[in-house]
Amino acid sequence: MQYENKKTEVEDAHQRTVCLVIIFNHRFDANIQKLKAIYQKRFHKIRFLMPFYEGTDTDVIPVYESSYQFPGFLIQAYARLTDVEAGYYCFIGDDLILSPEIDEHNILELLKMKEKSVFVKDMVPINGPGMFEWPHARFSSSPFLKKNQTQWEGSIPRHQDALKRFDDFFRMKYPEEYQDDFFEGNFYQEQRLDRAKEIENFIIRNGNSRKVPYPMAGGYSDIFLLKKEILFPVARLCGVFSAMNLFAEISFPTSVVLSVDRKDVVFLEETGFQSIETWEQKDRESFEDEWKYNFDSFYRNWDKRNLYIHPVKLSRWRMNL
């Protein structure tokens, strides 16, 4: 009995272990040691997914995919990742910096992951108000289903089954025809002619139809956490969608919706954390100037309300960690 209790304790500890997986959009060997300096004291299990890697670091898993389809890295690295004794995998971009308060011991509790399978920042149906203002929604989503370079039929859920998953996940009826404001002509007068042409071109690419070929979701994908049991179904669909050339922040959220029930997913807003994203170059430069490119300084003065800052281009910062 004592042996069995000991074995159960070891299994429970294993199931709670978190492996940090850092995804590189591009090959940048020089940042591996910088990232280890930042995280290795807090995460004992770290793996790096890096395109076209040729080095000898056994913690680095080479992958072969476009950065625009980086969720395809997951299925390529699946065997190597599941060799790691871990119950969860926290994926972050190489230019996303996690709060110094986060470590392998507290991340599941802080992200409200008890009995949950997935943590993501956010997700929304792609066919919703304003989504098609985002260029990737227009050019990297459903029209690709009309192309034949990948025989995807039978490898993803059937259309009606997918619609049911989306209805259940978002607790709303997913429109079967495009109804985004973009298609309803709700745009500035001076843009009317250009937008009308874009709508016409989109409809042509969509087989001269307003029917949605397949329901899709969009969402921030530079940080997510997956329970080991859900890694394969999500990674597999990401691989299929990547082969279909779907943009990363469409393929990953869509794979989650098709694989996981909403009750098993935690969004950032549910954790009490916030985040900092500096997408505009002027905002990023302002952030860099504020801290004079001194990584140690801004890291020591971290606002505990922030789960992460993204992007932080480490090649531009001085570090003495």
Of 1-15, 63-77, 171-185, 204-218, the poorest mean pLDDT is in: 1-15
Q: The domain containing residue 130 runs over which residues?
A: 1-321
Residues 63-97 have pLDDT tens digits of: 999 999 999 999 999 999 999 999 999 999 999 99
| pLDDT above 70: percentage of residues in the chain | 90
Bridge partners, 92 (sequence order): 22, 223
3 state DSSP class of 45: coil
Average pLDDT for 219-244: 96
Q: Which residues contact 81 (CB under 8 A, 6 or more apart)?
A: 19, 21, 47, 61, 74, 89, 231
Bridge partners, 277 (sequence order): 310
Of 31-40, 107-116, 188-197, the poorest mean pLDDT is in: 188-197
What's the total number of domains in the chain? 1
Integer Cα distance of 216 and 263 in angstroms:
19
Average pLDDT for 237-254: 94
Integer Cα distance of 222 and 71 in angstroms:
10
pLDDT category of residue 9 using cuts at 50, 70 and 90 = very low
Integer Cα distance of 264 and 229 in angstroms:
12
Average pLDDT for 119-139: 88
- Look at residue 224 and tell me whether its pLDDT is greater than 90: yes
Residue-level pLDDT at 146: 66
Torsion angles phi and psi, residue 45, rounded to 5: -120, 110
Which has more pLDDT, 215 or 9? 215
- With CA atoms as reference, report the closest residue to 216 among 249, 240, 265, 192: 249
The Cα-based distances of 63 to 13, 35, 49, 53, 230 in angstroms read 30, 18, 6, 7, 21
Residues 50-66 have pLDDT tens digits of: 999 999 999 999 999 99
Identify the H or E element spanning 204: helix 192-205
Q: What is the rounded average pLDDT for all residues in the chain? A: 90
